C-alpha cells in the first residue's frame, strides 16, 4: 500500500500540515525536537488508532487545543482509501471513507504499518508487558476477531480480579466464579490459538531473515511460555477444557492472592540465538539484530495475511545500524515497501536506495520538501 497524502491539524507540535508523497522512500530530516517522530507517529496512529509511544490519546492533541485531527489518503490494492481520526479529551472517532466506525476494531487494519523505533529493543530486553503488547498489536492488525477477543478477555480479567478481591475479603459469591472461569477459558482458548499461529509464522520468517543478516552464523528461535496448560497441538475445545480445569484447580490460590494468576494476560515470549536466551545473554548487537529480524518478519507476515505490504516507519534506527545491516534492511524493502525514515542528517546514510529518496525537512512543526 502507498500513502499519498497526510493531513494533520493540531496534532502534537503541528498546527496544520498537508503533505503529499509520491516516492517509495521518504526521509524526514531535521534537528532534534522538530517533529520528525511526531510525523511517523501520526501515520502509525492512522493505522492503529493509537500511538506506539503513549496510551494517553490526550498527549497527541496540541497543547492548549481542544482536539486534533489526522487524515490520510492511501492507495491499496483494492482501491483508494480515505481515513480520518478525530481526537478530543472525551475520546476518538475514526472514519473510513467518511463512514464512522462504531468499533475501533472495525477501523484498525484499514491501512497497515510496521514501526521500528529505538524503543523496540525493549521487545527483546524489556518486561513481559511489552511483549504481550507487541503480540496484541501485531496480531490485532491482521485479525479483527483477535482484537475483539483480546478486548473481551481484558475486560473479563478486570471484572474477575474485582471478584477475586471480594472473595479474598470473604464476601459470598455463589457460583459466580465458575461462570467467570468458563468465560475466561473460552476466550483464552481463542486468544492462545491465534497467538500460537502468529508465533509460528513469526518464527519461520524471523529465522530466515535473521540467518540472512548474520550470514548463517545465528539461528533465531522463538518460544511461547503459557501460564495455562494449553499447547499448540490442542484443538480449541481441548484448550478450553484444559484451561477451565486449570482455573478450577488454582481457585484457592487465586482467592488467597486476590487476583487472576494464569492466562494470556500473564504469558510471555522468549527469543533464542543458537539456543541461548537473547534476553539474558545476548550482546547489544544481537539484541538489535533480533528486534530487526522480528520487524522484517512482521512485514512478510502482514504481506502474507492481507495480500500486500504494510507501510514501514523507521524512527532513528537507520543510523544506529552498521553498514551491513543497513544495506540488508534497505535491500529487503527496496521496491516493495513504502518506507518513511527519520534522521537528523543524511551523512551516515550512504546506501544508493537512500539517494533516490524524497527528502522532507521538518522544522518546528512545519514541513517542506526538497526539490
Ligand X SMILES: Nc1ncnc2c1ncn2[C@@H]1O[C@H](COP(=O)(O)OP(=O)(O)OP(=O)(O)O)[C@@H](O)[C@H]1O
* Minimum CB distance to ligand X, residue 355 (Å): 22
Evaluate whether 15 touches 65 at the Cβ level (below 8 Å): no
**Residue 33 among known ligand-binding residues:** yes
Q: Give the whole-angstrom CA distance, residue 309 versus residue 296.
A: 11
Choose among 90, 82, 59, 79: nearest CA to 6.
82
**CB 362, min distance to ligand X, A:** 6
37 is in an annotated binding site: yes
The answer to the question of residue 35 lying near ligand X (CB under 6 A) is yes
- Report residue 89 as a C-alpha cell: 479529551
Closest approach of ligand X to the CB of residue 350, in Å:
20
Q: Scanning residues 291 to 350, which ones bind ligand X (CB under 6 A)?
A: 316, 342, 344
Cα separation, 310 vs 114, whole angstroms: 7
What does 265 bind: ligand X, Mg ion, none (CB cut-off 5 to 8 Å by kind)?
none
Nearer to ligand X, 16 or 245 (CB): 16
Interface residue with ligand X among 32, 98, 215, 284 (CB under 6 A) is 32
Contact 116, 312 (CB under 8 A): yes
- Partner touching 62 among Mg ion, ligand X, none, CB below 5 to 8 Å by kind: ligand X
Site residues for Mg ion, 13-52, by CB under 5 A, read 36-37
Please report how close the Cβ of residue 46 comes to ligand X at its closest, in angstroms: 16
Q: Grid coordinates representing 199?
A: 508465533
Instruction: Give 59's DSSP letter.
Output: G
User: How many positions of this chain bind ligand X (CB under 6 A)?
Assistant: 17
Binding letters toward ligand X, positions 78-107, x by CB under 6 A: ------------------------------
Q: Is 24 annotated as a binding residue?
A: no
Q: Is 112 annotated as a binding residue?
A: no
How many other C-beta atoms lie within 10 A of the C-beta of residue 331? 11
Nine-digit cell string for 316: 532513528
56 binds ligand X, rule: CB under 6 A: no
CA 226, CA 249: separation in Å to the nearest integer? Answer: 16
Q: How far is the CB of 39 from ligand X (least distance, A)?
A: 7
Written as nine digits, the cell of 230 is 494449553
Report the residue number, 31 or 229, with the smaller CB distance to ligand X: 31
* Partner touching 59 among Mg ion, ligand X, none, CB below 5 to 8 Å by kind: ligand X
Query: Which residue matches cell numbers 462504531?
Result: 102
CB of 87 to ligand X, least distance (A): 10
Matching residue, cell 534497505: 330
* 306 contacts 142 by C-beta, under 8 angstroms: yes
Choose from ligand X, Mg ion, none: what does 13 bind? Cβ within 5-8 Å by kind. Answer: ligand X
Task: Using CB atoms within 10 Å of the CB of residue 355, give its burial: 0 to 12 exposed, 13 to 18 middle, 19+ buried.
Answer: exposed
Query: Can you say whether residue 300 is alpha, beta or left, with left for phi > 0 and alpha for psi between -120 and 50 degrees?
Result: alpha
Number of C-beta neighbours around residue 301 at 10 A: 23
30 is in an annotated binding site: yes
| Cα distance between residue 47 and residue 56, in whole Å | 17
Q: Is 50 in the site for ligand X (CB under 6 A)?
A: no
**Which of 31-39, 95-103, 113-121, 175-183 is the region at the interface with ligand X (rule: CB under 6 A)?**
31-39
User: Of Mg ion, ligand X, none, which one does residue 353 interact with (CB within 5 to 8 Å by kind)?
Assistant: none
Q: Which residues bind Mg ion (CB under 5 A)?
A: 36-37
Query: Which residues fall in the annotated binding site?
Result: 30-37
Judged by the rule CB under 6 A, the positions of this chain that interact with ligand X are 12-13, 30, 32-38, 59, 61-63, 316, 342, 344
Residues placed in the known binding site for ATP: 30-37
Amino acid at each position: 500500500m502507498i500513502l499519498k497524502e497526510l493531513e494533520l491539524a493540531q496534532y502534537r507540535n503541528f498546527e496544520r500540515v498537508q503533505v503529499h508523497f509520491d516516492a517509495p522512500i521518504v526521509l524526514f530530516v531535521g534537528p532534534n525536537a522538530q517533529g520528525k517522530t511526531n510525523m511517523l507517529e501520526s501515520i502509525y496512529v492512522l493505522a492503529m488508532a493509537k500511538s506506539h509511544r503513549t496510551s494517553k490519546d490526550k498527549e497527541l492533541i496540541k497543547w492548549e487545543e481542544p482536539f486534533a485531527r489526522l487524515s490520510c489518503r492511501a492507495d491499496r490494492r483494492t482501491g483508494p482509501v480515505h481515513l480520518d481520526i478525530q481526537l478530543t479529551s472525551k475520546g476518538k472517532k475514526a472514519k473510513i471513507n467518511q463512514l464512522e466506525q462504531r468499533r475501533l476494531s472495525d477501523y484498525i487494519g484499514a491501512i497497515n504499518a510496521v514501526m521500528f523505533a529505538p524503543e523496540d529493543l525493549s521487545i527483546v530486553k524489556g518486561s513481559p508487558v511489552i511483549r504481550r503488547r507487541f503480540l496484541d498489536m501485531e496480531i490485532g492488525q491482521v485479525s479483527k476477531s483477535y482484537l475483539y477477543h483480546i478486548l473481551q478477555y481484558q475486560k473479563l480479567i478486570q471484572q474477575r480480579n474485582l471478584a477475586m478481591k471480594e472473595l479474598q475479603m470473604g464476601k459470598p459469591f455463589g457460583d459466580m466464579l465458575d461462570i467467570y472461569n468458563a468465560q475466561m477459558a473460552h476466550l483464552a482458548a481463542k486468544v492462545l490459538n491465534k497467538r500460537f499461529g502468529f508465533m509460528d509464522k513469526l518464527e519461520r520468517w524471523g529465522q530466515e531473515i535473521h540467518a540472512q543478516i548474520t550470514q548463517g552464523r545465528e539461528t533465531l528461535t522463538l518460544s511461547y511460555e503459557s501460564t495455562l496448560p494449553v499447547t499448540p497441538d490442542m484443538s480449541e475445545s481441548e484448550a478450553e477444557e484444559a484451561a477451565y480445569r486449570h482455573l478450577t484447580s488454582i481457585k484457592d490460590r487465586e482467592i488467597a492472592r486476590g487476583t487472576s494468576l494464569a492466562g494470556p494476560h500473564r504469558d510471555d515470549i522468549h527469543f533464542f540465538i543458537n539456543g541461548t536466551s537473547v534476553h539474558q545473554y545476548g550482546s547489544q548487537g544481537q539484541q538489535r539484530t533480533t528486534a530487526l529480524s522480528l520487524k522484517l518478519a512482521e512485514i512478510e507476515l502482514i504481506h502474507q495475511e492481507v495480500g500486500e505490504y504494510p507501510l514501514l516507519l523507521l524512527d532513528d534506527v537507520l543510523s544506529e545500524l552498521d553498514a551491513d545491516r543497513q544495506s540488508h534492511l534497505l535491500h529487503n524493502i527496496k521496491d516493495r515497501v513504502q518506507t518513511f525514515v527519520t534522521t537528523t542528517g543524511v551523512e551516515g546514510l550512504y546506501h544508493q536506495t537512500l539517494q533516490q529518496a524524497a527528502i522532507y525537512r521538518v522544522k518546528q512543526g512545519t514541513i517542506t520538501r526538497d526539490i
